[in-house]
């Protein structure tokens, strides 16, 4: 398999540390070759479609946090690691604003609500070592910090998952002391080598430390975002660590993580359901790996000129990475850095995103915007629900409940399909057309039948009348 992964940092790709470039691309291959765990066979003539027979789309935002303009404080720390030898860090960072104001967060949240945009929004818990969000940010009053956190809870949470992007996105913190390790080298930077050779328990402890800070400030998390090369050389350990940490701190049923971007045409960007176990018992487990499908063409983490909307989708709607992925039917999860979206107050990346969203709306009528946790739940149910057919009766046993669970059955029916869950049995309503499906509905699709269910955890049954 010749999948190409794009790191979310040019500093990851261009570093002279010897840890990057092709080595990370090889590690990206490993993430798609992990032993997936338990799997089930499916009867012929039955397939699980996308939710409501639509293509999932999402926006993945990295390097966001409250108040702190992360790149302003991160670049000098990256430069210290390379001792002035990497030109990418010789930017005029002193002229960049220290803050991305709440007024922009509010503007962005209102825009996403108006346009139905959903996705993942990082909150770095200890941004660039400036200060822990649960203990105060030097340079801002406690009132300003509290107001900013409240804004995220009230304006962003309805449409956005929150992920910690590790702890600092720069130096590694000693979880025993709460301070950065004294050594300034790739070995003790989150973006580079710290995870190499570490156990799942060590990585989980670090992740849990970050998650607890966000829990302390009232921000729930169902997943993890990794900065730069974090975990690239410890894939099996990272998969286990994500489950351990997110499940331990938040009790999340289906943890997910984001770490890679794949932009090569023709390569799969479908989520992977990993580390599966316990499907026959009372404690089913899995972790869902969710890749992005675009590069950062909105201005980058370090505010370079945006590549522009055409890279995502051209003005005529015929070309671009999002167009290609949507046509393939796989989730089209685009990507951008918060620092480039704000672009030091010029909002260049934001303008690109707005144009992309308007073009997508004009070109496609078969999209559904989803948060990463919603994508993860759907893919876990899609991969792991046991389906058995006896004649025109289909038995389902789901380890996880799933809204909008959509099936295509190579069975015609003369009357509405009957869906039984527990003691309750009801006929499905006729949606009239495949793109009008919603839970508890069905429609004909030639000689086949499409159904959309609010699938409960456990056993349920679908009966058709041929």
Q: What is the mean pLDDT of the chain?
A: 92
Q: Would you say 130 and 73 are in contact if contact means Cβ atoms under 8 Å apart? A: yes
Last residue of a domain, one of 319, 353, 377: 377
Range of the domain at 122: 5-40+54-377
Same domain, residue pair 331 and 396: no
Phi, psi of 312 (to 5 degrees): -80, -55
Does residue 209 lie in a domain region? yes
How many structural domains comprise the chain? 2
Tokens of 8: 């979310």
Report how far residue 419's alpha carbon sits from residue 70's, in angstroms, rounded to the nearest whole number: 51
Same domain assignment for residues 423 and 329: no
Specify if 345 maps to a domain.
yes
Give pLDDT, residue 55.
98
- Judgement on whether residues 139 and 109 belong to the same structural domain of the protein: yes
Domain of 423, CATH number, reads 2.60.40.1180
Residue-level pLDDT at 36: 54
Could you give the CA distance from residue 310 to residue 322 in angstroms, rounded to a whole number?
A: 10
DSSP 68: B
Whether residues 292 and 412 share a domain: the answer is no
Element (H, E) at 204: helix 200-216
- Pairwise CA distance, residues 206 & 173, whole Å: 8
Six token digits for residue 225: 């975002």
**What residues contact residue 282 under an 8 Å CB cut-off, 6+ apart?**
none
- List residues bridging with 162 in a β-sheet: 121, 221
Co-location of 393 and 354 in the same domain: no
- What CATH number does the domain containing 365 carry? 3.20.20.370
Do 407 and 286 fall into the same domain? no
State the burial class of residue 141 (Cβ atoms within 10 Å of its Cβ: 0-12, 13-18, 19+): exposed
Please answer whether residues 323 and 363 qualify as being in contact, where contact means their C-beta atoms are separated by less than 8 angstroms: yes
Residue at which a domain ends, from 318, 347, 377: 377
Residue 48 lies in a domain: no
Spatial CA neighbour of 262 closest among 289, 227, 300, 223: 289
Q: Which residues pair with 426 in a beta bridge?
A: 419
Q: What is the pTM of this model?
A: 0.92
**Pair 345, 402 in one domain:** no
Q: How far is Cα 216 from Cα 213, in angstroms, rounded to an integer? A: 5
Residues of the chain predicted below pLDDT 50 = 1-35
Token output for 255: 């943890």
Q: Are residues 345 and 232 in the same domain?
A: yes
DSSP conformation letters of 209-256: HHHHHHHHTT--BSEEE--TTTTTT-HHHHHHHHHHHHHHHH--SS-E
On whether residue 49 sits in a domain, the answer given is no
State residue 39's pLDDT score: 59
Report the Cα 227 to chain-centroid distance in Å: 13
The SS3 of residue 366 is coil
Same domain for 277 and 389: no
What's the gap between Cα 160 and its chain centre? 10
Query: pLDDT at position 287, please?
Result: 98
Of 352, 377, 402, the residue that ends a domain is 377
Q: Please, are residues 293 and 333 in contact by the beta-carbon 8 Å criterion?
A: yes
- My answer on whether 209 and 340 are in the same domain is yes
Q: What is the pLDDT of residue 348?
A: 98
């Amino acid at each position: 398999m010749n999948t190409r992964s794009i790191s979310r940092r040019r500093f990851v790709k261009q570093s002279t540390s010897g840890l990057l470039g092709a080595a990370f691309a090889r590690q990206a291959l490993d993430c798609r070759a992990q032993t997936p765990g338990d799997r089930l066979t499916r009867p012929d003539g039955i397939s699980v479609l996308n939710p409501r027979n639509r293509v999932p789309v999402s926006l993945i935002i990295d390097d966001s946090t409250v108040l702190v303009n992360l790149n302003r404080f991160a670049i000098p720390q990256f430069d210290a690691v390379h001792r002035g030898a990497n030109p990418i860090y010789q930017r005029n960072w002193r002229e960049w604003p220290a803050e991305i104001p709440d007024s922009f967060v509010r503007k962005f949240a209102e825009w996403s609500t108006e346009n139905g945009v959903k996705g993942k929004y990082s909150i770095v818990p200890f941004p660039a070592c400036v200060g822990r969000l649960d203990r105060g940010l030097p340079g801002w009053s406690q009132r300003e910090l509290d107001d900013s956190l409240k804004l995220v809870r009230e304006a962003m949470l309805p449409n956005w998952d929150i992920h910690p992007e590790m702890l600092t996105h720069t130096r590694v913190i000693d979880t025993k002391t709460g301070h950065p390790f004294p050594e300034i080298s790739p070995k003790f930077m989150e973006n580079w080598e710290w995870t190499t050779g570490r156990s799942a328990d060590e990585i989980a402890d670090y992740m849990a430390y970050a998650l607890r800070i966000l829990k302390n400030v009232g921000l729930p998390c169902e997943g993890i975002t990794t900065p730069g090369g974090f975990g690239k050389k410890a894939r099996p350990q990272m998969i286990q660590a994500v489950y351990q940490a997110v499940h331990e701190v938040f009790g999340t049923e289906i943890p997910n993580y984001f770490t890679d971007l794949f932009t090569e045409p023709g390569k799969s960007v479908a989520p992977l359901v990993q580390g599966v176990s316990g499907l026959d018992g009372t404690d089913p487990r899995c972790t869902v790996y969710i890749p992005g499908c675009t590069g950062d063409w909105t201005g980058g983490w370090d505010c370079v000129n945006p590549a522009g909307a055409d890279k995502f989708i051209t003005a005529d709607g015929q070309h671009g990475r999002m167009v290609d992925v949507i046509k393939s039917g796989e989730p089209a999860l685009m990507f951008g850095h918060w620092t480039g979206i704000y672009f030091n107050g010029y909002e260049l990346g934001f303008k690109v995103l707005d144009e992309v969203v308007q073009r997508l709306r004009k070109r496609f009528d078969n999209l559904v915007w989803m948060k990463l946790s919603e994508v993860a739940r759907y893919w876990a149910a899609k991969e792991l629900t046991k389906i058995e057919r006896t004649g025109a009766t289909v038995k389902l046993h789901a380890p996880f409940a799933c809204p909008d669970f959509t099936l295509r059955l190579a069975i015609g029916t003369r009357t509405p399909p009957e869906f039984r869950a527990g003691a309750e049995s009801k006929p499905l309503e006729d949606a009239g057309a495949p793109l009008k499906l919603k839970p508890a509905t069905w429609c004909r699709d030639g000689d086949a039948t499409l159904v959309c269910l609010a699938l409960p955890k456990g056993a349920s049954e679908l009966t058709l009348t041929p």
